[in-house]
Amino acid sequence: MIRHTAPRGVRRAVTVAAALAATALVITGCTSSDTPSDEPVEITFWTWLPDIQTTVDKFEEAHPNITVKVENVGVGIDEYTKIQNAVDAGSGGPDVAHMTYDAIPAFALTGALADLTQTGGESISDTFLPGVVSLVQFGDAIYGVPQDFGPGVMYYREDLFTAAGVEVPTTWDEYATAAEQLHAANPNAYITYLEPGLVDAPYMGLWQLGAKPWTIENGTDLTLDLQSEEALQWADYWTELNNAGLTLESVQGSDEWFKQMGDGQIATWVVGAWGLQALTGVLPQNEGLWRVAPQPVWNEGDTGTSQWGGSASVVLAQSEKQEAATEFALWVNGSEEGVASLRDDQGLLPTTNAVWEDPAFIDEEIAYLGGQQARQIFAQSAQDTVVGWSWTPFQPYIGSVYKDTVGQAISNKTSIAEGFKAWQDRIAEYAEEQGFTVTIAD
Amino acid sequence: MTAPTALVDVAASTRRRRPSAKLRASRIAYAFLLPFIVVFTLTIVVPLGYALVISFFKKQLIGGTVFVGIDNYVRALGDTLLHDGVLRVLLFFVVQVPIMLLIAVLAALAIDSGRLAGSRIVRIGLFLPYAVPAVVAALMWGYIFGGRFGLAGQVFGFFGVPAPDFLGPGLMLGSVGNIVTWSFVGYNMLIFYAALRSIPEEVYEAAAIDGAGEFRKAWSIKLPALRPALTLALIFSVIGSLQLFNEPSILQALRPSVITTNYTPNLYAYSLSFMGGQTNYAAAIAVLLGGLTVVIAYVVQLGVARRDRFV
């Protein structure tokens, strides 16, 4: 099944290309019957990973017929705006783009992304972790090759817990108790921080609780449920800690926040596993002080975790080189060599089944975490991710008005549940404006 | 015999040449203007026209783009989030601009008086902040004002008093005003200083003969002479205040719950467009804001002109 034709019948290097393709197929477990054309193609790749050229060079070495032009057009929403502009204009976009999971539905549902099961990516669901594949799969179509992900874990300052003689919490109840004990033992220490603008915190919390704050049916019917039992459970829990003065208001990633983390003012950080990169990168002086534990659960015996962050490589529907683009995305994120480069050159947490079955990877002792075999905890979290969380096609908007509503409640130490209500109202207003039929669940 | 013919010839040729010379002159003028016209059209006229056109449409996730007439404008007039932002920048204008212009006038008078030691250094020193990009300025001041480890916190800590929360809901607008004042005092001072330098020396000599001192000269000669410059500076400030964006946008990262998405009209339009994909509505807001700016600038000019008549 050859979808692209090789018009000038160039056959010189066909054997080489076929051999390479065979290798690639074996490595990725790809079952595509596409014969890669040996005609030189150039694809454009938009990403904001700073050192990606190293990985791209390795790809080009293995694929002499494909040249990859890397362009950094901005991080997150900046890139998405440019992609949206290109989609509106009908051309001008990249062939492959880096996209966080929360942004994919908006582009997938409006037809901006290529269905990779039609362009050589049939193997994706077998190659990658099921919990991650579910973030790029809509119906039978797959709109991205998973690149990295953020299984939820809890990083904590072992020195603070030891000094205060406090047990490391495994449930949220224990976490609240630990919050009191830690702060009582050391008035400068807080169990964690709350950020009025950080929408990822409730995303992660609601995901773990199995909440469905937004559900879209038939493509146009939106049901909002930010007053569900689960949503209120999360809201009231944090209202209580916040009002008791057991949390610190801070902005994650700011200089001040890193200072608080480094100084031992913040005792835990519940975050995607990638948090380790931030800690090692910005707080090298803290080596040996931090440890990782599973994300706390609501009830003793629960195992469900949630995720925070992570990206896929998507192929644009307007690309005229979708096969080459898919081949590139599959190699970078799924081949043994590509995955090794993601891990070692990019510092990312790969998402293939193969790598998470590899003892050398899972059992590696992480010096920064005092020699803990941290990836075992990551792997467990990856397996235990609660299934069923979904994103809307207008997630950036939902995130942007969080600070206007819930953020106010956090800063003013008022009811976060009330903040959720205000948040829901803003989302409903917006969705109606966008043509959705909105129902507020009761 | 030959002379009249020659005269006629000359007359004829000048008659012929005059319009062609004029034409050539205007052609040359247009040739010189062309780069400006091209850039002006591409960067001002076309985007303005585009904003105006798209402001009459509405793009929805469901239903695509449809023509909606003045719906976006009607919505903007009833949008309380937008009103909050507009009132905030008007308050900013009423408080910050007089302070900034007063400092700038005093500085210009001081430098112009010729009695200031090292006036050149003062002039450059005052102007220097204007050369600092707004983003850098906001970052820098954000650090200075930053609660627990900022410079302000350290200074207050030295005296054993807790620093007020400069970036809190109560003081944020004042802090933004402080940054803008710091950035633009030098710029306005330069406008005023240039106006003062253009006063002919003879006027001062006459005043000196009449026995006027420095303060009298400042009050009766310099301040009236500053009026056109003041109008100009005021109009720039109207635009600057209503378009307030950079400083709050940077500080938003430090205090997300204080600088909400609708903190200033421009910030609101930006959020609508880039976070919500509501480019059409944002364009309508931009057009309205532009209109409001023109109206206020016109009122300012009228006000100053009317006072001129009474002088």
Choose among A251, A254, A435: nearest Cβ to B60.
A435
Residue B301 pLDDT > 50:
yes
Average pLDDT of the residues in B185-203: 92
Enumerate the residues of chain B whose CB falls inside 8 A of the CB of residue A403: 256-257, 260-261
User: Band of the pLDDT at B211, cuts 50, 70, 90?
Assistant: confident
Looking at residue A37, its pLDDT comes to 54
Closest to A138 in 3D by CA, of A213, A216, A86, A82: A216
CA–CA min distance A210, chain B (Å): 26
Average pLDDT score, chain B: 87
CB contact under 8 A, A404 and B62: no
pLDDT at B61 over 70: yes
Whether B254 sits inside 8 A of A433 (CB atoms) is no
Neighbour tally for B282: CB within 10 Å:
24
What does the pLDDT read at residue A1? 35
Inter-residue contact A46 to A83 (CB < 8 Å): yes
Looking at chain B, the whole-number percentage of residues with pLDDT higher than 70 is 91
Nearest by CB to residue B260, choosing from A81, A220, A404, is A404
Give chain B positions within 8 Å (CB) of A198.
256
Residues A381/A295, Cβ–Cβ less than 8 Å: yes
Neighbours of A175 (CB within 10 A): 20
Interchain CB contact of A408 with B (< 8 Å) = yes
Could you tell me how many residues make up chain B? 311
Confidence band for B306, pLDDT divided at 50, 70 and 90: low
Q: Which domains does chain A have, with CATH numbers?
A: 14-149+309-360 (3.40.190.10), 151-307+365-440 (3.40.190.10)
Top pLDDT among A134 and B58 is at: B58
Predicted confidence at residue A271, as pLDDT, reads 95
Question: pLDDT of chain A along its 442 residues, tens only?
Answer: 333 333 333 333 333 333 333 333 333 333 343 445 568 899 999 999 888 999 999 999 999 999 999 999 988 888 998 998 899 888 999 999 999 999 998 898 888 999 999 998 889 989 998 888 888 988 889 999 999 999 999 999 999 999 999 999 999 999 999 999 999 999 999 999 999 999 999 999 999 999 999 998 888 899 999 999 999 999 999 999 999 999 999 999 888 899 999 999 999 999 999 899 889 989 999 999 999 999 999 999 999 999 998 999 999 999 999 999 999 999 999 999 999 999 888 888 899 999 988 898 899 999 999 999 999 999 899 888 888 888 888 898 999 999 999 999 999 999 999 999 999 999 999 999 999 999 999 7
Mean pLDDT score, B128-157: 84
Q: Which of A3-7, A238-242, B66-70, B153-157 is modeled with the greatest confidence?
A: A238-242
Q: What is the DSSP letter of B132?
A: S
pLDDT at residue B4 is higher than 50: no
Q: Centre a 10 Å sphere on the Cβ of residue B213 and count the other Cβ atoms it contains.
A: 10
A-chain residues within 8 Å CB-CB of B278? Answer: 433
Q: Evaluate if residue B159 carries a pLDDT over 90.
A: no
Per-residue pLDDT, B191: 94
Judge whether A225 and A441 are in contact, CB under 8 Å.
yes
The tokens 């946008």 sit on which residue? B249
Taking contacts as CB-CB distances below 8 angstroms, the residues of chain A near B169 are 411
Chain A residues in contact with B147 (beta carbon < 8 A): 256
- Which residue's entry shows tokens 């091209």? B38
Q: In what helix (H) or strand (E) does residue A311 lie, and over which residues does it extend?
A: strand A307-315
User: What is the structure's pLDDT at A24?
Assistant: 37
pLDDT tens track for B226-268:
988 999 999 999 999 999 999 999 999 889 999 999 999 999 9
**pLDDT score recorded for residue B208:** 87
Residue A188 has which token pair? 């400068």
Contacts of A19 (CB under 8 A, 6+ apart): none
Q: Are A201 and A409 in contact (CB under 8 A)?
A: no
Q: Six-digit token pair at A118?
A: 């039609």
Instruction: Find the closest chain A residue to B62 by CA distance.
Output: A435
